[in-house]
Amino acid sequence: MKKIIIGDRITKSFGEREEQRNVLDELSIEINEGEFVAIMGASGSGKSTLMFALSGMDEVNSGKVVFGDRDLSAMGENELSDIRRTKMGFVFQQPIMLKNLNIIDNIILPMMRDNRKNVASISDKARALMKRVGIGELEEHDITQVSGGQLQRAGICRALINNPKIIFGDEPTGALNSKSAQEIMNIFSEINEEGTTVLLVTHDAKVAARTERVMFMRDGKIVSELKLSKYDGTNMDTRIEKVTRKMI
Ligand code: ADP
Ligand code: MG
Protein backbone atom coordinates (compact mmCIF):
# COMPACT_ATOMS: atom_id res chain seq x y z
CA MET A 1 0.00 0.00 0.00
CA LYS A 2 1.41 3.38 -0.96
CA LYS A 3 1.60 5.87 1.90
CA ILE A 4 0.44 9.42 1.43
CA ILE A 5 1.54 10.64 4.86
CA ILE A 6 4.03 9.30 7.34
CA GLY A 7 4.55 10.91 10.72
CA ASP A 8 7.68 9.47 12.30
CA ARG A 9 8.11 9.96 16.06
CA ILE A 10 6.82 13.51 15.95
CA THR A 11 6.98 15.60 19.07
CA LYS A 12 5.34 18.96 19.57
CA SER A 13 5.16 21.22 22.57
CA PHE A 14 4.13 24.83 22.93
CA GLY A 15 6.14 27.44 24.77
CA GLU A 16 9.72 27.56 25.91
CA ARG A 17 9.79 26.02 29.34
CA GLU A 18 11.47 22.65 29.47
CA GLU A 19 8.94 21.13 31.80
CA GLN A 20 6.20 21.85 29.22
CA ARG A 21 4.47 18.60 28.40
CA ASN A 22 4.52 17.25 24.88
CA VAL A 23 1.19 17.77 23.15
CA LEU A 24 2.43 15.24 20.57
CA ASP A 25 4.68 12.72 22.22
CA GLU A 26 6.89 10.76 19.77
CA LEU A 27 3.78 9.95 17.82
CA SER A 28 4.06 7.79 14.70
CA ILE A 29 1.31 7.42 12.12
CA GLU A 30 0.92 6.23 8.54
CA ILE A 31 -1.95 7.02 6.19
CA ASN A 32 -2.39 5.05 2.97
CA GLU A 33 -3.23 6.67 -0.31
CA GLY A 34 -6.99 6.57 -0.84
CA GLU A 35 -7.77 5.74 2.77
CA PHE A 36 -10.70 7.12 4.75
CA VAL A 37 -9.52 7.43 8.35
CA ALA A 38 -10.51 9.09 11.58
CA ILE A 39 -8.50 10.18 14.56
CA MET A 40 -10.54 10.15 17.74
CA GLY A 41 -9.75 11.43 21.16
CA ALA A 42 -11.08 13.51 24.00
CA SER A 43 -10.84 17.27 23.88
CA GLY A 44 -7.25 18.32 24.55
CA SER A 45 -5.73 14.99 23.48
CA GLY A 46 -3.83 16.68 20.64
CA LYS A 47 -5.98 15.90 17.58
CA SER A 48 -5.91 19.36 16.03
CA THR A 49 -2.22 19.71 16.80
CA LEU A 50 -1.62 16.42 14.98
CA MET A 51 -3.61 17.57 11.97
CA PHE A 52 -1.64 20.80 11.85
CA ALA A 53 1.63 18.86 12.06
CA LEU A 54 0.69 16.34 9.34
CA SER A 55 -0.38 19.06 6.93
CA GLY A 56 2.73 21.17 7.45
CA MET A 57 0.66 24.00 8.93
CA ASP A 58 2.73 23.85 12.06
CA GLU A 59 6.34 22.82 12.64
CA VAL A 60 7.18 19.84 14.80
CA ASN A 61 9.89 19.98 17.47
CA SER A 62 11.36 16.61 16.52
CA GLY A 63 10.65 13.68 14.26
CA LYS A 64 9.54 14.09 10.70
CA VAL A 65 6.50 14.30 8.48
CA VAL A 66 6.66 12.91 4.95
CA PHE A 67 3.97 13.75 2.39
CA GLY A 68 4.18 11.49 -0.67
CA ASP A 69 7.94 11.36 -1.08
CA ARG A 70 8.62 14.83 0.30
CA ASP A 71 9.92 15.55 3.78
CA LEU A 72 7.76 18.45 5.01
CA SER A 73 9.92 18.97 8.07
CA ALA A 74 12.82 20.01 5.82
CA MET A 75 10.84 22.54 3.75
CA GLY A 76 10.61 26.29 3.92
CA GLU A 77 7.29 28.11 4.33
CA ASN A 78 6.93 28.96 0.62
CA GLU A 79 7.29 25.39 -0.50
CA LEU A 80 5.00 24.20 2.27
CA SER A 81 2.29 26.64 1.37
CA ASP A 82 2.56 25.59 -2.31
CA ILE A 83 1.99 21.99 -1.31
CA ARG A 84 -0.92 22.89 0.92
CA ARG A 85 -2.49 24.99 -1.80
CA THR A 86 -2.11 22.45 -4.60
CA LYS A 87 -2.31 19.05 -2.90
CA MET A 88 -4.34 19.48 0.29
CA GLY A 89 -7.83 20.59 1.21
CA PHE A 90 -8.97 21.68 4.66
CA VAL A 91 -12.39 21.63 6.28
CA PHE A 92 -12.87 23.03 9.76
CA GLN A 93 -15.73 23.02 12.21
CA GLN A 94 -16.91 26.26 10.69
CA PRO A 95 -15.56 27.52 7.40
CA ILE A 96 -13.71 30.79 7.65
CA MET A 97 -15.16 32.91 4.87
CA LEU A 98 -14.94 36.52 3.84
CA LYS A 99 -18.17 38.34 4.61
CA ASN A 100 -17.82 40.80 1.74
CA LEU A 101 -17.71 38.01 -0.87
CA ASN A 102 -20.62 35.83 -1.96
CA ILE A 103 -20.50 32.04 -1.68
CA ILE A 104 -19.01 31.23 -5.07
CA ASP A 105 -16.32 33.89 -4.78
CA ASN A 106 -15.34 32.48 -1.40
CA ILE A 107 -15.07 29.05 -3.00
CA ILE A 108 -12.88 30.12 -5.90
CA LEU A 109 -10.66 32.39 -3.81
CA PRO A 110 -7.88 29.83 -3.22
CA MET A 111 -7.49 29.31 -6.98
CA MET A 112 -7.29 32.95 -7.94
CA ARG A 113 -3.69 33.40 -6.90
CA ASP A 114 -2.37 31.06 -9.62
CA ASN A 115 -5.08 31.38 -12.23
CA ARG A 116 -6.23 34.92 -12.68
CA LYS A 117 -6.86 34.25 -16.37
CA ASN A 118 -9.00 31.16 -15.90
CA VAL A 119 -11.76 32.68 -13.83
CA ALA A 120 -14.44 31.32 -16.15
CA SER A 121 -13.33 27.70 -15.99
CA ILE A 122 -12.69 27.89 -12.25
CA SER A 123 -16.16 29.32 -11.74
CA ASP A 124 -17.61 26.48 -13.83
CA LYS A 125 -15.82 24.00 -11.64
CA ALA A 126 -17.09 25.72 -8.49
CA ARG A 127 -20.64 25.64 -9.85
CA ALA A 128 -20.36 21.93 -10.62
CA LEU A 129 -19.07 21.25 -7.10
CA MET A 130 -21.84 23.32 -5.53
CA LYS A 131 -24.47 21.46 -7.50
CA ARG A 132 -22.93 18.19 -6.48
CA VAL A 133 -23.09 18.92 -2.77
CA GLY A 134 -26.61 20.27 -3.04
CA ILE A 135 -26.09 24.04 -2.91
CA GLY A 136 -26.25 24.74 -6.65
CA GLU A 137 -28.79 27.50 -6.21
CA LEU A 138 -26.75 29.48 -3.68
CA GLU A 139 -23.83 30.82 -5.69
CA GLU A 140 -24.78 34.47 -5.52
CA HIS A 141 -25.90 34.26 -1.90
CA ASP A 142 -24.23 36.18 0.79
CA ILE A 143 -22.57 33.92 3.35
CA THR A 144 -24.79 35.35 6.09
CA GLN A 145 -27.93 34.19 4.23
CA VAL A 146 -27.34 30.44 4.43
CA SER A 147 -27.60 27.75 7.10
CA GLY A 148 -24.69 26.14 8.93
CA GLY A 149 -25.04 22.96 6.87
CA GLN A 150 -25.06 24.92 3.62
CA LEU A 151 -22.04 26.93 4.69
CA GLN A 152 -20.17 23.72 5.52
CA ARG A 153 -21.02 22.37 2.05
CA ALA A 154 -19.53 25.55 0.61
CA GLY A 155 -16.46 24.94 2.78
CA ILE A 156 -16.13 21.48 1.28
CA CYS A 157 -16.39 22.90 -2.24
CA ARG A 158 -13.62 25.32 -1.40
CA ALA A 159 -11.49 22.47 -0.07
CA LEU A 160 -12.07 20.49 -3.29
CA ILE A 161 -11.54 23.23 -5.83
CA ASN A 162 -7.83 22.38 -6.24
CA ASN A 163 -8.45 18.64 -6.74
CA PRO A 164 -6.47 17.86 -3.60
CA LYS A 165 -4.86 14.49 -2.96
CA ILE A 166 -6.02 14.61 0.63
CA ILE A 167 -8.78 16.32 2.59
CA PHE A 168 -8.16 17.09 6.25
CA GLY A 169 -11.29 17.65 8.30
CA ASP A 170 -11.01 18.95 11.86
CA GLU A 171 -14.37 18.26 13.57
CA PRO A 172 -16.10 19.00 10.24
CA THR A 173 -19.54 18.11 11.60
CA GLY A 174 -19.00 19.58 15.06
CA ALA A 175 -21.27 22.57 14.52
CA LEU A 176 -24.08 20.73 12.72
CA ASN A 177 -27.26 18.95 13.72
CA SER A 178 -27.25 15.19 13.24
CA LYS A 179 -29.09 15.22 9.91
CA SER A 180 -26.71 17.76 8.37
CA ALA A 181 -23.80 15.88 9.90
CA GLN A 182 -24.89 12.65 8.18
CA GLU A 183 -25.25 14.47 4.88
CA ILE A 184 -21.78 15.97 5.20
CA MET A 185 -20.42 12.50 5.97
CA ASN A 186 -22.11 11.19 2.81
CA ILE A 187 -20.20 13.80 0.85
CA PHE A 188 -16.89 12.79 2.45
CA SER A 189 -17.66 9.13 1.63
CA GLU A 190 -18.30 9.99 -2.01
CA ILE A 191 -15.15 12.07 -2.28
CA ASN A 192 -13.21 9.14 -0.85
CA GLU A 193 -14.88 6.68 -3.25
CA GLU A 194 -13.55 8.82 -6.06
CA GLY A 195 -10.01 8.32 -4.81
CA THR A 196 -9.25 11.23 -2.50
CA THR A 197 -7.69 10.36 0.84
CA VAL A 198 -9.81 11.69 3.71
CA LEU A 199 -8.47 12.21 7.23
CA LEU A 200 -10.99 13.35 9.82
CA VAL A 201 -10.36 14.39 13.37
CA THR A 202 -13.38 13.99 15.62
CA HIS A 203 -14.65 13.15 19.06
CA ASP A 204 -17.91 11.80 17.62
CA ALA A 205 -18.21 7.99 17.38
CA LYS A 206 -20.89 8.35 14.68
CA VAL A 207 -18.45 10.22 12.46
CA ALA A 208 -15.57 7.85 13.11
CA ALA A 209 -17.82 4.85 12.38
CA ARG A 210 -18.23 6.06 8.79
CA THR A 211 -14.51 5.69 8.07
CA GLU A 212 -12.49 2.52 7.44
CA ARG A 213 -9.85 2.90 10.16
CA VAL A 214 -10.04 4.73 13.46
CA MET A 215 -7.01 5.71 15.51
CA PHE A 216 -7.49 6.66 19.14
CA MET A 217 -5.38 9.38 20.72
CA ARG A 218 -4.63 10.01 24.34
CA ASP A 219 -2.15 12.50 25.78
CA GLY A 220 -0.36 13.06 22.49
CA LYS A 221 -0.03 9.42 21.54
CA ILE A 222 -1.99 7.02 19.38
CA VAL A 223 -2.95 4.37 21.88
CA SER A 224 -5.02 1.99 19.74
CA GLU A 225 -6.55 1.44 16.37
CA LEU A 226 -9.72 -0.11 14.99
CA LYS A 227 -9.93 -1.43 11.45
CA LEU A 228 -13.37 -1.33 9.87
CA SER A 229 -14.36 -2.08 6.30
CA LYS A 230 -15.40 0.70 3.94
CA TYR A 231 -18.92 1.75 4.90
CA ASP A 232 -21.48 0.33 2.49
CA GLY A 233 -24.56 1.84 4.09
CA THR A 234 -25.28 -1.11 6.36
CA ASN A 235 -24.54 -2.14 9.96
CA MET A 236 -24.06 1.38 11.23
CA ASP A 237 -25.16 0.45 14.75
CA THR A 238 -22.57 -2.32 14.95
CA ARG A 239 -19.86 0.00 13.67
CA ILE A 240 -20.73 2.68 16.22
CA GLU A 241 -20.74 0.06 18.95
CA LYS A 242 -17.27 -1.15 17.91
CA VAL A 243 -15.90 2.39 17.98
CA THR A 244 -17.53 3.17 21.32
CA ARG A 245 -16.23 -0.01 22.90
CA LYS A 246 -12.69 0.79 21.79
CA MET A 247 -12.96 4.35 23.10
CA ILE A 248 -13.47 3.29 26.69
P1 ADP B 1 -7.81 18.55 20.56
O2 ADP B 1 -7.92 19.02 19.15
O3 ADP B 1 -7.68 17.06 20.69
O4 ADP B 1 -8.92 19.05 21.42
P5 ADP B 1 -5.49 20.27 20.65
O6 ADP B 1 -4.54 19.67 19.68
O7 ADP B 1 -6.23 21.46 20.22
O8 ADP B 1 -6.47 19.12 21.19
O9 ADP B 1 -4.71 20.66 21.99
C10 ADP B 1 -3.94 19.75 22.72
C11 ADP B 1 -3.25 20.48 23.86
O12 ADP B 1 -2.32 21.42 23.34
C13 ADP B 1 -4.19 21.26 24.76
O14 ADP B 1 -3.77 21.11 26.09
C15 ADP B 1 -4.03 22.68 24.29
O16 ADP B 1 -4.25 23.58 25.33
C17 ADP B 1 -2.59 22.71 23.83
N18 ADP B 1 -2.39 23.67 22.73
C19 ADP B 1 -2.88 23.54 21.48
N20 ADP B 1 -2.53 24.59 20.71
C21 ADP B 1 -1.77 25.41 21.51
C22 ADP B 1 -1.11 26.65 21.30
N23 ADP B 1 -1.11 27.25 20.11
N24 ADP B 1 -0.44 27.17 22.35
C25 ADP B 1 -0.40 26.56 23.55
N26 ADP B 1 -1.01 25.39 23.81
C27 ADP B 1 -1.69 24.81 22.81
MG1 MG C 1 -9.32 20.17 18.18
Q: What is this model's ipTM?
A: 0.98
- What amino acid is encoded at 143 in this protein? I
pLDDT digits (tens, 9 = 90+) for 46-105: 999 999 999 999 999 999 999 999 999 899 999 999 999 999 999 999 999 999 999 999
Mutate-to-test residue for ligand 1 from 24, 27, 49, highest number of ligand atoms within 8 A of CB: 49
Span of 17-31, 93-107, 172-186 with lowest mean pLDDT: 17-31
Q: What atom in ligand 1 is closest to the CA of residue 15?
A: 25
Exposure of 248 in the CB half-sphere (CA atoms within 13 A): 6
Ligand 1 center to 102 CA (angstroms): 32
The 10 Å CB-count burial string (b at 16+, else e) for 235-248 is: eeeebbebbeebbe
Ligand 1 center to 239 CA (angstroms): 29
Contact (CB, 8 A) for 205 and 243: yes
Say yes or no: CB of residue 106 within 6 Å of ligand 1.
Answer: no
Q: What is the pTM of this model?
A: 0.95
Does the pLDDT of residue 170 top 90, yes or no? yes
